[in-house]
Structure 1
Amino acid sequence: MTDQRSVPRALIVLLCTAGAVVTLAGIREVGSIVGPVLLALVLVLAVSPVRTWLQRRGAPGWTLVAVPLALVLLLLFGMVAILTVAVAETANLASTYGPEFNRLVTGLQNLATRFGVGTEQVNQTIKSFDLGKVFALVQGFASGLLGLFSSLVLIVVLLLAMCLDAQPFSRVLAAGAASRPLLVRALGDFAHKTRRYLVVSTVFGLICSVLDVAALWMLGVPLPLLWGVLALITNYIPNLGFILGLIPPALLGLLEGGPKTMIFVIASYIAINFVVQSLIQPKFLGDAVGLSTTMTLLSLLVWAFVLGPLGALLAIPLSLLARALLIDSDPDGRWAAALISGEVPDGERP
């Protein structure tokens, strides 16, 4: 038998990297199938405590499938409706505020002339800035998700199948705990961490959304409720979601009330996000995610590249699944887990 120590570590790293690249490229090619499957999996995991609660209280067997499925469908169709309205309203607003944008351009040209900046230079800068392109950033994100939700029949069928298989799958995992303890424990941790991440992100996302809506309403920004819901959805996107949720109301504040209103909108969003999500939320989330800040950002970039907007929305759950299958289930993966989470194993602390 070949001694594993004789294999150069650099070769192992290169082979693993090549395998990861090929796998991600393959997933990207079949993203129209993999995307709905992963979305259905995360949604079913999110409502699995409801099934457990019903089972403990002796509810009929059909309710263990019907109630979680109804909750997931309600959530799914609600998200589709919100994204549809967001796409339509963003397209309408981009054309409605054309005159206001032209007045801002004229004011900017006059201001530049006062400071001795050439009109031609200002015009070149303004030409590079297209209001429609800025609105299209958020509209493209929502449209990308709607493109996935256009295959609602497939998603509903997958949700029904997973809800039906949830209880048998739990029994299979319980039976395999003796022969594959690390894998079963890793999958259990993945489900637990995913649910905790979704719950905490949803609760604090709702808090931020309510505060955002109140701030936008006081500042007179149009459609504050819509932008509050958009802020809730983009809250699930790590690091960059806050910016995506801020762009539409900030631009509308500029067009509706001028630079002063836009500054107030940006300041309000930053203050709310900093207090709620940077100071309070981490105390409740704790180490539930198990990913360092760098790995969180890399997860966003990789999964957004592979699966598009859906990959950005589900970046954390998908990374947790990859960690469970590739690292946590491996008895020699403690240091890899430490590198990903940024935490030294208990037995190795100095």
Structure 2
Amino acid sequence: MTIEQGPGPGPTGRTVSGVLTFVVGAAALTIVLGGVHAVASIIGPVFLALVITVTVHPARRALERTRLPEWAASTVMLIAAYLLIVVMTLALVVSVAQLAALLPKYTTEFTETVNDAVATLEGFGVEQAQLDKVAAAIDPARLVELVASILGGTLGALTDVFFLFTVLLFMAFDTNAARRNLHLLGGRFGDVVTAVGHFADGTRTYMVVAATFGLIVAIVDGVALYVIGVPGAFVWAVLAFVTNFIPNIGFVIGLVPPALIALLEDGPGLMLAVIVVYCVVNFVIQSIIQPRVVGESVGLSPTLTFLSLVFWAWLLGPLGALLAVPLSLLMKAMLVEADPRLSWALPLISGRPETSD
């Protein structure tokens, strides 16, 4: 006796199955993202510690080539990382304190400026109801709310000293073991190990270049603002350094607050001087020189970089905005470069045509 088998799944069945798979995958992704968002205060500092460890790793290898014992090299790099964090924390503490003391001085001037702007709009025939909404939305207390959020968020991650220092301690002394394990796994999971190497190289290049040019921009901006008489020059210099790590819109975030303070302090002339200084210094360095130096290490198109900035800022807060590029490099390495079948997506991600060897 033979049993006749029914026909295989038709197009409708495959469509339903595909839709269900998509829905289940989307639901799982939503749950994962919700979990990550809930523990952002842990994930952010951990990834920051990883980025610092990856960035200083070449110096560690240089120390090892001098026949310095492994534990001594780990200790030296750990102390260097600790000093870096302490210096950044002190700079942020001072800048946030100066910012808190600076803003109340300009509350009256800011209110008068808003009222003058509203009167000007009224003269152009804008309806009173719309003017009231504009005036209510512009609160002097929010003058540099974004600045305070960025500086405060970065400071919050750095001032959780015990947790960050502990994570760095373990990472510093686990580096060699991790390196040896990756070398052993290279024969079995070559693509994954190569992808991890690309992430490390790209992150290291990006962080070193961003920090170097950020320091140059901060010094030049701070000196220029001090010379032309803009209050809070140190605050805006620290802000320029921090926002140099924010892709695409970092220049604008760093420019707006000192330009507004200059407007309130001495009118449109001083504000125009600030804008000229920032456009000459920040735009040339951040938009022309820095991308050329970073070169191929990032491999993210401008559009994708901006979207990743928005995504990571939402997911992890201000620290996510500062680490948006390294985080995106990690996702690219793990989700795309680790799977040879997805190599076709790399030109789309980088925004550059695929080149043949």
TM-score in terms of structure 2 length: 0.87
Q: Does 1:297 align with 2:318?
A: no
TM-aligned CA deviation for residue 45 of structure 1: 0.7
- Partner residue of 2:143 out of 134, 149, 172: 134
TM-aligned CA deviation for residue 161 of structure 1: 0.1
Q: Distance in 1 between matches of 2:223 and 2:353?
A: 42
- Kept after mapping to 2: 8 A contact 1:210/1:228: yes
Q: Distance in 2 between matches of 1:249 and 1:302?
A: 27
Q: Does 1:81 align with 2:90?
A: yes
- Partner residue of 1:157 out of 166, 186, 206: 166
- Partner residue of 1:260 out of 264, 269, 284: 269
- Kept after mapping to 2: 8 A contact 1:43/1:72: yes
Alignment match, 1:346: 355
Q: Distance in 1 between matches of 2:294 and 2:187?
A: 31
TM-aligned CA deviation for residue 77 of structure 1: 1.7
Deviation larger for 110-119 or 306-315: 110-119
The verdict on how the C-alpha distance between 1:111 and 1:78 changes in structure 2, with shifts beyond 3 A counting, is: same
Q: Deviations over 1:156-193 (max 9, x none)?
A: 11000000100111111111111111111110111011
Alignment match, 1:330: 339
Alignment match, 1:97: 106
- Kept after mapping to 2: 8 A contact 1:295/1:340: yes
- Kept after mapping to 1: 8 A contact 2:258/2:274: yes
- Kept after mapping to 2: 8 A contact 1:112/1:119: no
Deviation larger for 27-36 or 177-186: 27-36
- Kept after mapping to 1: 8 A contact 2:118/2:135: no
Alignment match, 1:54: 63
Q: Does 1:25 align with 2:21?
A: no
Alignment match, 1:172: 181
Alignment match, 1:37: 46
- Kept after mapping to 1: 8 A contact 2:37/2:315: yes
Q: Does 1:216 align with 2:216?
A: no
Q: Deviations over 1:204-240 (max 9, x none)?
A: 2222222212321232101313311220111101112
Q: Does 1:234 align with 2:256?
A: no
Q: Distance in 2 between matches of 1:30 and 1:24?
A: 10
For this pair of structures, how many residues does the alignment match? 344
The verdict on how the C-alpha distance between 1:339 and 1:17 changes in structure 2, with shifts beyond 3 A counting, is: farther
Deviation larger for 167-176 or 60-69: 60-69
- Kept after mapping to 2: 8 A contact 1:253/1:262: yes
- Partner residue of 1:199 out of 188, 203, 208: 208
Amino acid at match of 2:199: F
The verdict on how the C-alpha distance between 1:152 and 1:7 changes in structure 2, with shifts beyond 3 A counting, is: farther
Deviation larger for 68-77 or 261-270: 261-270
Q: How does 1:100-139 map to 2 (within 5 A)?
A: 100-105=109-114, 108=117, 125-139=134-148
The verdict on how the C-alpha distance between 1:330 and 1:222 changes in structure 2, with shifts beyond 3 A counting, is: same
Deviation larger for 318-327 or 259-268: 259-268
The verdict on how the C-alpha distance between 1:145 and 1:209 changes in structure 2, with shifts beyond 3 A counting, is: closer
TM-aligned CA deviation for residue 120 of structure 1: 8.7
Q: Distance in 1 between matches of 2:124 and 2:340?
A: 67
- Kept after mapping to 1: 8 A contact 2:99/2:235: no
Q: Distance in 1 between matches of 2:350 and 2:221?
A: 31
Amino acid at match of 2:307: L
Deviation larger for 39-48 or 266-275: 266-275
Amino acid at match of 2:330: L
Deviation larger for 61-70 or 6-15: 6-15
Q: Distance in 1 between matches of 2:101 and 2:118?
A: 27
Q: Distance in 1 between matches of 2:44 and 2:122?
A: 52
Amino acid at match of 1:45: V
The verdict on how the C-alpha distance between 1:336 and 1:111 changes in structure 2, with shifts beyond 3 A counting, is: closer
Q: Distance in 2 between matches of 1:21 and 1:108?
A: 44
Deviation larger for 327-336 or 17-26: 17-26
- Kept after mapping to 2: 8 A contact 1:183/1:329: yes
Long gaps (5+) in structure 1: none
The verdict on how the C-alpha distance between 1:21 and 1:102 changes in structure 2, with shifts beyond 3 A counting, is: closer
Q: Distance in 1 between matches of 2:278 and 2:18?
A: 46
Deviation larger for 243-252 or 156-165: 243-252
Q: Distance in 1 between matches of 2:226 and 2:215?
A: 16
TM-aligned CA deviation for residue 117 of structure 1: 7.5
- Kept after mapping to 2: 8 A contact 1:186/1:325: yes
Amino acid at match of 1:49: P
Q: Deviations over 1:70-126 (max 9, x none)?
A: 111111122222222222222211111233334545655776787788999766643
Q: Distance in 2 between matches of 1:210 and 1:146?
A: 20
Matched residue SS, 1:58: coil
TM-aligned CA deviation for residue 271 of structure 1: 2.5
Long gaps (5+) in structure 2: 1-7
RMSD: 2.7
Deviation larger for 168-177 or 251-260: 251-260
